[in-house]
Amino acid sequence: MSRVFLIWAITHSVKEVQSEDSVLLFLIAWTVTEIIRYSFYTFSLLNHLPYIIKWARYTLFIVLYPMGVSGELLTIYAALPFVRQASLYSISLPNKYNFSFDYYAFLILIMISYIPLFPQLYLHMIHQRRKVLSHPEEHKKYE
């Protein structure tokens, strides 16, 4: 969901951020992650998982997760002034639905949500890495 959100609700909607280096940062992280992830799934389905693919799946996230999250957060941050100025996707009162929505505040809440969520996901992957890669005899049967 975060990828759809970043691509459509930020990068597509706020044209001014499309040339930011942070967009390139998260796109590179996502691309490398997906190449590794789908290679892992493909080789697993074929019952021939090379250890290097398994190792890459459970090791390269150490760099790729922080890289992707940094790019995402920096991109949202770069979009904030443009969102505020244009009142993008915001709904003001009064209106017939008696409802208001401030997209600028919503983006700040999204950014703040990374504080509890990112460490939890990252530590989960560290745990998975330990669990999966701690059995060296396991990888011999796939080689």
Active site residue 72: yes
**Catalytic hit among 16, 41, 51, 72:** 72
Q: How many domains are contained in the chain?
A: 1
**Catalytic hit among 16, 38, 58, 65:** 65
Reported as a pLDDT band with limits 50, 70 and 90, residue 137 is: low
The pLDDT, as a whole number, for residue 138 is 56
Active site residue 143: no
The pLDDT, as a whole number, for residue 41 is 97
3-state secondary structure the chain: CHHHHHHHHHHHCCHHHCCCHHHHHHHHHHHHHHHHHHHHHHHHHCCCCCHHHHHHHHHCHHHHHHHHHHHHHHHHHHHHHHHHHHCCCCECCCCCCCCCECHHHHHHHHHHHHHHHHHHHHHHHHHHHHHHHCCHHHHHCCC
Domain containing residue 117:
2-140
Query: How confident is the model over 4-63, as pLDDT tens digits?
Result: 999 999 999 999 999 999 999 999 999 999 999 999 999 999 999 999 999 999 999 999
Q: pTM of the prediction?
A: 0.89
